[in-house]
Structure 1
């Protein structure tokens, strides 16, 4: 019999133990990081609208509102980014009959949309007050506020998550009288942005927004390290 096959049970035992030995020098764990901030910018949209039996009259009324708006924001205009007020819409709507048996009335409605962004939130309340004074329609929600360097903050949160994973690796290695070595693999999980707390929508000329609330960006990673 060939000498290389004299002890197959020993060869099988050694073969099965090799993967276990390879995995014994690694540790897999997670790391988390977060960054808190307050938005410093906003995207805003207002709509001027007016109705009349004659389409031309409805259009003229909206044009008059737009002239008042442009005049009212003269001192802020240069600080409004990506400004546009060229979107105009004209349609006809049917109004309920004022009395039973009468025919429903039709009315022409003209509207014009104003959109822009601001990188200075001190402009927010003066602009809202101007819109309120003219009766412009708008909605103010958390999704309209953002930070000018959100990409940098996402990277900072990720950096903190990686640092947290490495710190945990050092702790685990220390408990085993070893040291944390090189990264074998790393998986970056998706970020999470909780909805911020903010004041309710301003609806009258006396209402102002004092704070848009704090936000948080979170990041997490799953990493495998060598143990030396």
Structure 2
């Protein structure tokens, strides 16, 4: 009986020791953000046509889209930087009749073709926008800026995030009267995001004015440290 009592006491002490060891850690997060000048823009434009027949609507949209793609290619936009994002054909419904029992009627068809364009030379961005608008693009889905090679900026943000986490860990350990030990684990989460940009109204006579601003690249890390009293 005494043997079992001693054994149970030893197991209890071992369990308590493991719990204390598991609790002797400090977890901190570090975040950082760096700004960089963009060197690439992505625009989404489209052509929408309304006609009495589905074939006429699609033909009109296809002709205008083909002209836009040809003009972009002539302006130096590579084929890999042009991508069709959506091709749609829908009936255009007439107003519902006030006659009881009368259903809606189709009075035409709407065809649309949406294209994404990647512009790698920002000096030509205004001219590209002016070209597509002048050739019949009547839908503008947005403009965003980015980096062709975000790696260096991302690495700079990562280093800054780790430095911030280390700074916080040293601060907390000092404030709590603890000894900061080695790093037990490090995990990352983060990504790039475009900064706000401005775009003025399109002008058909001149190139559309745009302001690229900056894009910010962020990184976040979580670090776990061993600590001692």
Into which bin does the TM-score normalised by the smaller protein fall? 0.5 to 0.7
- Deviations 1:60-98 (CA, angstroms, capped at 9, x unpaired): 43343234324433432443534245964433312449x
* Aligned counterpart, 1:46: 45
Q: TM-score, normalised by structure 2?
A: 0.66
- Distance in 2, matches of 1:86 and 1:192, equals 24
Q: TM-score, normalised by structure 1?
A: 0.66
Looking at structure 1, the residues matched to 23 and 112 of structure 2 have their Cα atoms a distance apart, in angstroms, of 70
Cα distance, 1:80–1:35 mapped onto 2, change above 3 Å: farther
**How far is 1:44 from its partner?**
2.8
Q: 2:156 aligned with 1:128, yes or no?
A: no
Gaps of 5+ in 1: 6-10
Cα distance 1:224–1:94, how it changes in 2: closer, same or farther (>3 A)?
same
**Structure 2 residue matching 1:139: 3-state secondary structure:** strand
- Residues 45 and 113 in structure 1, CA contact (< 8 A), matched pair in contact too: yes
1:139 corresponds to which of 138, 141, 146: 141
Q: Displacement of 1:178 after TM fit?
A: 9.1
User: Residues 53 and 162 from structure 1, CA distance in 2 versus in 1: closer, same or farther, beyond 3 angstroms?
Assistant: same
Aligned to 2:196: 197
Structure 2 gap ranges (5+): none
**SS of equivalent to 2:198:** coil
* Max Rg structure: 1
Query: Cα 1:65–1:212, aligned 2, differ >3 Å: closer, same or farther?
Result: farther
Residue correspondences, number: 220
Comparing both structures, which one devotes a greater share of its residues to strand?
A: 2
Does the 8 Å contact 2:35/2:216 carry over to 1? yes
Secondary structure, in 3 states, of the residue corresponding to 1:149? Answer: coil
Question: What is the Cα deviation at residue 187 of structure 1?
Answer: 4.3
Aligned to 1:8: none
TM-aligned CA distance change 1:194 to 1:43, over 3 Å? closer
